[in-house]
Structures are given as C-alpha cells and as structure tokens.
Amino acid sequence: MSATVSVNCNNCGAPLELASSTNFVTCAHCGSRLAVKRTASAAFTEKLDEVAAHTQTMSRQLAEIAYRAELERIDREWEREKAKYSSGKSGGADRETHPVPAILMGILVAGFGIFWTATAFQIQSNRRDFFPDHASPLDGCFPFFGLIVVALVLWGMVSTVMHSGEKAKAQDAYRRRRAAVTVEQFLNPQRRRAP
Ligand SMILES: [Zn+2]
C-alpha cells in the first residue's frame, strides 16, 4: 500500500509527492499554496486563491438560488392571497374583480330593477282598477322583487368596490415585499440580522 500520492502543481506543473492524507501543500517549485482534491480515481491540486474564488462563486450561486426560491415563495403566497379577492366562487382563481365593469353592470341591473318595480306597480294598480274582485294577498309582493334586486345589486357593488380597494392594498404590499428581497440577503445572512 502506497502512502504517497503523485500530483502536479496546478500553477507550474511541477510533480509533487504527497502523503496520501495531505490536504494542503506549498509547491516546492513555484511556492503556490495548493489544495489537494481527490476523486475516486485521481488526485489533483487547485491553487488556493482559485479555491477561494470558486467558493465565492458557489456561495453566490447558492444565494441566487435561495433568492429565486424566496421570490417564488412570495409569489405563491400572493397567488393564494389573491384568490381571496377573486369573484369566481368555484375555483375561479383567475377571475379577478374589476370595479368598473361591476359598477356599470350594477347600474344596468339596478335600472332594470327600478323599471321592474315601477312597471309592476303600474300593472298591479291597473289590474285592481279593472278586476277589483281578483285581488290576491301576494299582490303587494310582486313589485318588491324589483326593489330586492336593486338592494342586492347595490350591496354587490359596494362589496366589489371595497374588495378591489383591499386587493390593491394587498397587491401593493406584495410588490414591496418582493422588491425588498435581494441576493445579498442570502450571501450574508448574518449581516441581514444586524440593525
Ligand atoms: Zn508550482
């Protein structure tokens, strides 16, 4: 069993004989500080400042991965939160509440409700004039369907406008949270905690 290993200096190429347990060596020929790396079948050297640069690149890459993961986490959270403001009740996560179409639709339906109520009152009073014997206890209710429609539509409009305000606020918070994330946070996690 050989207790030594043959490598070449990564800087000048000079052959070096090392004890097989050596992890760091200074090249006798050019003086480079070397790290000894091993794979299953071979050993080689890496200049230490290159190791440092490589390590820096690695931690930068890891920081970028962590950074992207954090952004994705914030995005997923927002997708879930956004669903709360969606008007589609049965899994319509993509249907958003837009206040302007909702208001226009509301005005239209409310107008129809008022028209309904007025017409129903008119028809009913005509009917009472012509057929006074056919009065029914439900007579008074019919025109009020229109008023109920108007009330429901107004309530819907108010809640839509309020919801879209809440959503805009939440979206603003989400954007700020996203913008506050930087790669540097993950590069220097200790420094981030300092005030
Ligand atoms: Zn050397």
Calculate how far, in angstroms, residue 69's C-alpha sits from the geometric centre of ligand 1.
Answer: 42
| Cα 65 off chain centre by | 16
- What per-residue confidence (pLDDT) applies to 16? 93
Calculate how far, in angstroms, residue 56's C-alpha sits from the geometric centre of ligand 1.
Answer: 23
Which residues are 44's β-sheet partners? 37
DSSP-H helix ranges across the chain: 48-84, 99-130, 142-179, 183-187, 189-193
- What per-residue confidence (pLDDT) applies to 86? 67
- What per-residue confidence (pLDDT) applies to 112? 84
75-100 per-residue burial string, b: 16 or more CB within 10 A, e: under 16: eeebeeebeeebeeeeeeeeeebebe
Calculate how far, in angstroms, residue 182's C-alpha sits from the geometric centre of ligand 1.
Answer: 40
Cα angle value 55/61/62 (rounded, 5°)? 90
- What per-residue confidence (pLDDT) applies to 66? 93
Which residues are 36's β-sheet partners? 45
Calculate how far, in angstroms, residue 17's C-alpha sits from the geometric centre of ligand 1.
Answer: 12
Lookup: tokens for 155: 């309530």
- What per-residue confidence (pLDDT) applies to 161? 81
Amino acid making up residue 40: A
Contact 103, 158 (CB under 8 A): no
Amino acid making up residue 31: G
Calculate how far, in angstroms, residue 190's C-alpha sits from the geometric centre of ligand 1.
Answer: 37
Distance CA 61, CA 63 (A): 5
Calculate how far, in angstroms, residue 165's C-alpha sits from the geometric centre of ligand 1.
Answer: 68
- What per-residue confidence (pLDDT) applies to 73? 96
- What per-residue confidence (pLDDT) applies to 190? 54
- What per-residue confidence (pLDDT) applies to 91? 45
Mean pLDDT of residues grouped by 10 in the chain (195 residues)?
A: 82 91 91 90 87 84 93 95 68 56 81 85 79 66 77 84 85 94 79 49
